Amino acid sequence: MKYLVTFACLVLACCLFCGFMPTDDDRMIYENTVRLHVLANSDSEHDQSVKLAVRDAVLEEMQMLLANAENPTDAVAVITDNLDHIREVCDDTLESLGEDLPVAVILSEENYPTRHYETMSLPAGVYQSLRIQIGAAEGKNWWCVLYPALCTNVAKTEESLIKTGFSPEQIEILTDGESPKYKIKFKFLEIFGEAFS
């Protein structure tokens, strides 16, 4: 009897565990999304305002650069081809503010925690990411979605997601991330990702 109870508990634990594992829809979200991550020099109020100025300049430039990107592969190619230009935009912005800080602009895969935005939530996981590090990059950071263009186009979130090719199931995951079902799943994905990264 003791073994039966133990076996039943193990089966239940496995079922619960499998229910929170990344699905094909989750993986498609990771593959179809390019994130933006801007790190400030420090947490000082001044450095945080510098970070926001750099962010705004980069978003404005990226909106133009990615206007014709039809899929995430196009977006990554455009970003890759323009990394030096994006760094120049950052440098010019810093110079206009009288700042003499180095800036690093990197396109790589990056592990993101669950992020909740105004009209959507993104599950924790590994995404393609344009990472901008200002100075020591030890301050609070700012996250968003470059592709599809949700940083600058939050009001049209669902329309942008459909145009990008997300399925209705994936859109539900993204736009209903505050529901208890997805909150638990996103938290599990975040913990699971931290444990195995």
Q: What ranges do the domains of the chain cover?
A: 22-195
The pLDDT, as a whole number, for residue 62 is: 93
Provide the sign of the torsion angle of the four alpha carbons 119, 123, 125, 126, taken in this order.
negative
The pLDDT, as a whole number, for residue 122 is: 77
The pLDDT, as a whole number, for residue 191 is: 54
Strands 103-112 and 34-39: unpaired
For residue 79 the two structure tokens come to 């970003």
Give the CA count within 13 Å in the CB-facing half-sphere of 71.
Answer: 4
The pLDDT, as a whole number, for residue 124 is: 84
Q: Print pLDDT tens along the chain (197 aa).
A: 666 556 554 544 444 444 444 454 556 778 888 999 999 999 999 999 999 999 999 999 999 999 999 899 999 999 999 999 999 999 999 999 999 999 999 999 999 888 776 666 778 889 999 999 999 999 998 888 888 877 765 434 455 555 555 555 655 555 554 444 444 444 444 555 555 55
The pLDDT, as a whole number, for residue 168 is: 58
**Helical (H) or strand (E) element with 38:** strand 34-39
What does the pLDDT look like over 47-69, one tens digit per residue?
A: 999 999 999 999 999 999 999 99
Assess contact for 145 and 151: CB atoms under 8 A. Answer: yes
